[in-house]
Homo-oligomer: A and B are copies of this chain.
Amino acid sequence: MKQHAIFDLVRDELIAVENELASVIRSQVDLVTDIGSHLLRAGGKRLRPALYFLCAKSGRPALATILPVAVAIELIHMATLVHDDVIDDATTRRGLPTANVRWGNHVAVLSGDYLFAKAFSLVAGDAGSPTLKLLTETICAVCEGEIIQIRDIFNPEQSEANYLERIAKKTAGFIATSCELGANCAGLAAGEIRALHQYGYAVGMAFQITDDILDVTASSEQIGKPAGNDLRQGVLTMPVIYALHHSKRSAELKQLILTRDMTDAALKQIMAIIHETDAVEYSYRRVSEYLEEARDSLPSSITGGIRESLLEVADFVGLRKY
């Protein structure tokens, strides 16, 4: 479609969309920005925003008021294309390699989710809904966390700080947001809302670390999914990263961890090396610290049964064996 001729009437608006797209796909996580830029380079007819603008122009709305929805429409379209390409096993789109070919299906699925969430976040900001804004930004962060996790698989050089950043985004942020949204409903003061956010964040960190400990300690029956699953996928979690830095057999562990299509024997050996160190104890100590932080975060205005329940949640996250 020769959109330059047909869409002359909305050329300025479409240029504004391109600029906005380039700006909103920018993420703190370079890989996420790279994927977005790649998708933008592949371009497209921008048929949907063009029709939107043409229909809008029969009135005289200001560009600034109608731009976010146009950008959201194109972001949603891009997200569906990314997922379509995964589904169709497509290798090229508009002459460029697809995201699934360049970064793999998993990153492509998450990038699509990220673009969806970004789109809704734009409209939410525009619609003046703080709840939706917070929720959508949280999902963007969840996607970023998951993308970081995939970026860092089979990378024995990652630090505990990398790990903590990743689980903060993928798990703790969402639980913090759940608490914050509840606190908002209760009409609490800003400081109390922040405190409950912090409580949720700390509970979330403890929750995820516990989950990751269970992957190297629990049986498959206990957790309802195969144990050692993360290790097989190359996802290195707190106890593993700790062992890599503290085990005398670190070099051997590194070798084993890099194994693709890991055998049960290799998995057992990895577990053995981890359990020779105090990696599990260390990780449980970190869990306790986060839960301590969670308890300390509870504002004094939260009393009675609610306070008790929130304290109990913190207790149980630490005790969880499945």
Interface, chain A (partner B; CB < 8 A): 1-2, 5-10, 47-59, 61, 65-66, 69, 72-73, 76-77, 80, 83-84, 86-95, 105-106, 109-110, 112-113, 116-117, 120, 123-124, 126-127, 129, 131-132, 135-136, 139, 142, 146, 150, 174-175, 178-183, 185-188, 196, 200, 203, 207, 224-226, 229, 233, 301-302, 305-306, 309-310, 312-313, 316-317, 320
Q: In the assembled complex, which residues on chain B have CB atoms less than 8 Å from the CB atom of A10?
A: 309
Q: In the assembled complex, which residues on chain B have CB atoms less than 8 Å from the CB atom of A142?
A: 80
User: Which 5 A/B pairs are nearest by Cβ-Cβ distance?
Assistant: A55-B182, A59-B186, A127-B129, A56-B182, A52-B182
Q: In the assembled complex, which residues on chain B have CB atoms less than 8 Å from the CB atom of A113?
A: 80, 83, 112-113, 116
The interface centre, meaning the residue of A7, A48, A178, A305 with most chain B CB atoms within 10 A of its CB, is A178
Q: In the assembled complex, which residues on chain B have CB atoms less than 8 Å from the CB atom of A120?
A: 120, 132, 135-136
Q: In the assembled complex, which residues on chain B have CB atoms less than 8 Å from the CB atom of A52?
A: 178-179, 181-182
Nearest CB of B to A45, in Å: 9
* Given A48-B175, A188-B59, A224-B93, also A6-B313 (CB < 8 A): yes
Closest to A72 in B: B135
Nearest CB of B to A169, in Å: 12
Contact B309 A69 (CB under 8 A): no
Q: How far apart are the CA atoms of A310 and B52 in the complex, in Å?
A: 11
Q: In the assembled complex, which residues on chain B have CB atoms less than 8 Å from the CB atom of A132?
A: 120, 123-124, 127, 129, 132
Q: In the assembled complex, which residues on chain B have CB atoms less than 8 Å from the CB atom of A178?
A: 48-49, 51-52, 55, 73
A-B contact pairs, 25 of them (CB 8 A): A1-B316, A6-B316, A47-B207, A47-B313, A48-B178, A51-B203, A54-B309, A55-B310, A56-B182, A56-B183, A58-B183, A58-B188, A58-B302, A59-B186, A61-B186, A61-B187, A65-B185, A76-B174, A83-B110, A88-B233, A90-B225, A95-B224, A105-B105, A109-B109, A120-B120
